[in-house]
Structure formats: C-alpha cells, structure tokens
Amino acid sequence: MQTNFDAIVIGSGISGGWAAKELCEQGLKTLVLERGRNVEHNKDYPTALMQPWDFKHRGRMTKAHLDANPLITKAAGYGEDTAHFFVEDADHPYVQQKPFDWIRGYQVGGKSLIWGRACQRWSQSEFESPGKYGYGIEWPIGYEDMAPWYSHVEKFIGVCGKQDGVASMPDGEYLPPFDFNCVEQHMADTIRQHWPDRHLVQGRWAQLSEPTQLQLDQGRGRCQRRNLCMRGCPYGGYFSSVTSTLPWAQKTGKLTVRPHSVVHSIVYDEKTGRASGVKVIDANTKEETLFTARIIFVNASALNSVLVLLNSKSERFPNGLGNDNGLLGKYVGYHNYRGYSNGRIPGFEDKYISGRNPAECILANYRNHGKHDMPFYGGYTIFSGAYRVRQEGLPEGQMQLGAAYKEALGLPGSWYAYMYMQGEVVPREQNRVYLHPTEKDQWGIPLLVTEVGYTENEELMLQDFLTESKAMLEKVGAVDIYQHDSKQAPGLDIHEQGGARMGKDPKTSLLNAHNQLHACPNVFVTDGACMTSTGNQSPSILYMALTARAAGFAVEQFKEGKL
C-alpha cells in the first residue's frame, strides 16, 4: 500500500477520529493507524439488538473468563454483551510497580465505543487554579481559548443538556436535555433550597435527544433511550468515531485507515530536526513498515501515547522523543472515583419512569471554585440520579413462591437515589510510567511500567464527599443511607491523563499551547497525555476540542510550509 502521506494519526478513538476529520476536511492526505481490528458501524455490533435471554450466560461472564481476566473484567459496563470491545488481559500485559488498572479497548473507534459520554466543559477556574494555588504548573491556555472549539465539537457530535448558568460548569451548544424523573426533580429543588451554591442539573451527554440536520447528515438518528450504548448503537444515537468523525473524514477521499497496525515508534530525522514518519509492526504478520508524513498526531490514548514517545529514541533524543527535560511519562493523573452514597427515598409510589435515561444528573463542583478554602486542592463533580427498583416479592411472612409471588415480582418497589464522585487529582512527578528495561510484548516493544498512587489530598477530598453527600441525601429525605469507599486502584476510572503535559516553559513541560512537542514541532499530542492537570470534569470533550484546535493550527503551518 501507499506509504507516504501528508499526515499520520496514531489511534482511531475519540481524539484520533477528530484529528482525522479536521485534517482530511482541510485537504490533507491522512493515514490513521489502529493497532486493533477494524470495526464498521452496525456491521460489527454483534450484540446490539440481543435480548437478555439471547445471551448464553444472561449477560454474565463465566468463572473461567473472570479468572483469566481479573483486570479488564473490573471495567464499568463490562459484560457478556460488551466484552468484544475490550482487550483480554493476557494479550496486552504491562507491569504494575504500584496497583493500576489499565482499561483498554483496541479496535477502530477505540474506547469511543465504550466511553461514558459525559461532556461537561472545563471552567476557567480549572485552568487557572493549579498554577494560581501552587499544586501544578500553569496551563498555556485558558477557557477563552477553548470556548469556540468546545462549540465546534458540540455542534458536530450532538450533546444534550440545558443552559443552567453554573459558573463551575459553563454552558455549551446543547440539544434538549433528558428530563429529570420525579425524585431527581425533588432532589434538585431540595438541594438548591438548602445549599444555594449547589446545582443538580440534567446531564450534558453525547446523546442525540433531538438530532440536528448535521447529525442526520452523518447517518445518525435519535437516541432510543435503550441505554445499551456500550454494545454499539445501531441508531448512531451516541457519539463515537465509528459513527461520526471517521465516516465524515472518509467522505473527503483523503482518509486511509489501517487496522492491525501496532506503532513501534516515531522516526526522527537528525538532519531536518523533524519527525519523518512512523514505524509500524503488523499485528498479525509482525512485518515492519515505515510510513512517512510531514505531520504526526499522537492519539493512542494517554499511556500508549507516552509509551510510543518513550520508545521513539534517536541520537538527538536518547530518552524518548522530545524528552529533553526528563519529564516524559511523569505527572500522570487520573480521577478520584472512590466515594459512593446511596439511600432509599420513601414516597413517590404513584410515579414511575419512562424509558431508560442514558444521561445521569450532574451536581456541579462546589468546592475550591475560583478560590482555595478547603483542606484539599481541587474540586469534584458528583454524578447522581434516582431509580425505582423491582419489587422483591411479598411482605415478610408470606410464602415466597406461587402465583401471588410471581405477580408481586412484576410490581415496582421503592425509589432510591445515589451519588458518586469524580475528583480532581494533584499532579505529582512521582506518579509516572516508564519502559521496562528487559520485558517486551509479542511485537518486541518494551512493556510499560505503571507507578501511580493516591495521596493525602485524595483522601481528604473523599472524606468531604462522603460527609456532604450524606448530608444532601438526608435533606432530600433518604433513609437507610449506605456509603462506600471502593479503595479501587487508580486507572479504573479510565481517565488516565498526563505524561506529556502542556505548558509555557520547555523546562517543565513537553508540549506548547498548540499541543506541539517543544523540541519536535511537527509532532502533536492531543489525547489525555497532553493534560497539565486533571480538573474535575469528564475529560473526553476537552480532548476533542484540543484536537480540533491543534489540527487547525497544524494545517495552517503545513500550508505555509512551516511544517
């Protein structure tokens, strides 16, 4: 096949798909490299329309499978209906110096097929606070830089939500929201009454509640409220690169997607001071191929992107591409998901729900916004909602079998409300990943070593969440409140970030304000690896906006002959 392109994109997930779309639309002949298999919309969603009784194990995994895959089976949403979009543990090993659950999905579309779909914008405070209050370096960009790119992305992918006027979670370009149910509305009203600075709002989710013509032109349709998104949606009701950005790029005639392409390294040209191409190993045949291009976007998902950069060694960069300051692979972040609260809500028994709402409610961050007045740094988002359980049977003392019992099982039971946290994490140099000196994978690439752990800051934030969530549930009338610290290892949040962070100073960062490597300006990193700090919002839409912004800049530089 052809080996010379204008641009190469490493990775086909949320950010890689956006890089491909933007570069192809601007006329650049673009190659997308994906280490996993090919996935086509609808054709490769084998479980999308299956009923629970169609599954051999009713959606569960066998003990043999669980025993063979103790790591990946922890992932949210993993089951018999979605396992085809996740890796198996033995196929992709890594070394855990400290416990770290690295959740991966290798196929065209990457984890965009199995993401949570929450799409909150970062606030200006999230960009400013790490540098302002000394728990991180200064971002080279701010909210004003990203606002138009957030809008650009939101209009294309389709995000439902509402203009809520909450400073800690800025408004965007939204389709109509999915409505509160009766208990969620009660929660929102009660919390606002007792805490005027706390806002429980409808979720900002990448779901097509009412698609626009732009989304219809992508071949997508209205969300059917099945809430089976992670199987792959036959209606295109949620955003993935398989339903949206990659087909859009394909229509330009400028896109080539090459699955089964394991990226070994980026090749650096000592004479030009630029990267000249990408060395690829065929996942099946192990054959090596060099693809060349003037622009390279690294979007392999945060830790894989760092791995590729670390393994891209040359005489100029003996410790990894762009790694003059030795910080490549350091300041790896994640989100603190350890806290969970739940309670039964008496009453509302004459009300029920309609459909399966695919979008959770969001209680916007109310800690350390634009200030620092807590014993911990950063803030936390709370995801929340209310649901009604199935009746568990007949009252105690009555026989739990027979026709009456069967009839009772079909009746609704009590309402419950829940809250769980998504907390900002303080960047630390000690939280790092690096290449193992001797152990390699089946393609001869060094294994990644993860050395990432919690700090006292996360513990203090967790305790604040548990205290405040209990107080809020009590005010809304919850009883039998249950709280839990999962003590889960970092990584299970699937929001790994950093390792090649952006910054103003090449001495303390790897990337500039346009996501270019300071020391190799034709290489751009726009996935989670670029993050300077973690913020408290869900990060994927920021990756998309950063990618679109960087691609626009790269095309300008390309056409001016600077790249």
Instruction: Kindly report, residue by residue over 196-228, the tens digit of the pLDDT.
Output: 999 999 999 999 999 999 999 999 999 999 999
In sequence order, the 6+-apart residues with CB closer than 8 A to the CB of 357 are 178, 181, 225, 227, 385
Give the pLDDT score at 395. 66
Residue 393 above 70 pLDDT? Answer: no
Residue 152, CB-side half-sphere exposure with 13 Å CA sphere:
19
pLDDT (mean) for 152-172:
98
Average pLDDT for 374-378: 98
> Structure tokens of 467?
């205290």
Q: What is the largest CA-CA distance in the chain?
A: 84
Q: Which residues contact 560 (CB under 8 A, 6 or more apart)?
A: none
Q: Give the residue-averaged pLDDT of 185-191.
A: 98
Give the whole-angstrom CA distance, residue 489 versus residue 337.
10
Residue 369 has pLDDT above 70, yes or no: yes
Is residue 398 included in any domain, yes or no? yes
- By CB atoms closer than 10 A (0-12, 13-18, 19+), residue 29 is middle
The per-residue DSSP string of 168-223 comes to: TS-----BPPPPP-HHHHHHHHHHHHH-TT--EE---BSB-SS--HHHHHTT----
Which tokens sit at 490? 């970092």
User: What pairs with residue 282 in β-bridges?
Assistant: 261
Q: Looking at the domain assignment, is residue 230 inside a domain?
A: no
The candidate with the shortest Cα–Cα distance to 454, out of 483, 420, 401, 493, is 493
Cβ atoms < 10 Å from Cβ of 486: 12
pLDDT value of position 411: 81
**Inside any domain, residue 83:** no
Q: How many domains does the chain have?
A: 1
- Which of the four pLDDT bands, split at 50, 70 and 90, describes residue 15? very high
* 247 occurs within a structural domain: no
pLDDT at 420: 98
Q: Quick check: is 53 in a domain?
A: no
Count the neighbouring beta carbons within 10 Å of the beta carbon of residue 210: 11
Average per-residue pLDDT for the chain: 96
Measure the CA–CA gap between 137 and 125, rounded to whole angstroms.
Answer: 14
Query: Average pLDDT in the 20-45 region?
Result: 98
Tell me: the pLDDT tens digits for 507-554? 999 999 999 999 999 999 999 999 999 999 999 999 999 999 999 999
* Average pLDDT of span 23-38: 98
**45 pLDDT higher than 80:** yes
Burial track 40-77 (b if 16+ CB lie within 10 A, e otherwise): ebeebbebbeeeeeeeeeeeebeeeeeeebebbbebee
**C-alpha span between 23 and 299 (Å, rounded):** 14
CA 192 distance to own-chain centroid: 29
Are the beta carbons of 410 and 341 closer than 8 angstroms?
Answer: no
Asked, for residue 400, whether it belongs to a domain, the answer is yes
pLDDT, residue 355, reads 84
Pairing label, strands 361-363, 200-201: antiparallel
Grade residue 400 by pLDDT with cuts at 50, 70 and 90. confident
- Whether 68 has a pLDDT exceeding 70, the answer reads yes
pLDDT of 386 over the 80 cut: yes
Give the per-residue pLDDT at 392.
65
Does the structure show a pLDDT above 70 at 194?
yes
State the DSSP code for 279.
E
pLDDT, average across residues 313-317: 98
Mean pLDDT value of segment 277-298:
98
Assessment of whether the complete model's pTM goes beyond 0.85: yes
102 and 496 in contact (C-beta within 8 Å)? yes
**How large is the average pLDDT for residues 336-345?**
98
Structural domain contains residue 409: yes
Q: Give yes or no for residue 451 having a pLDDT over 70.
A: yes
**Share of residues in the chain with pLDDT > 70 (%):** 99
Instruction: Indicate whether 429 belongs to any domain.
Output: no
- The percent of residues above 90 in pLDDT, for the chain, comes to 95
Q: Please, are residues 531 and 497 in contact by the beta-carbon 8 Å criterion?
A: yes
Residue 381 is part of which domain span? 177-202+337-423+454-489
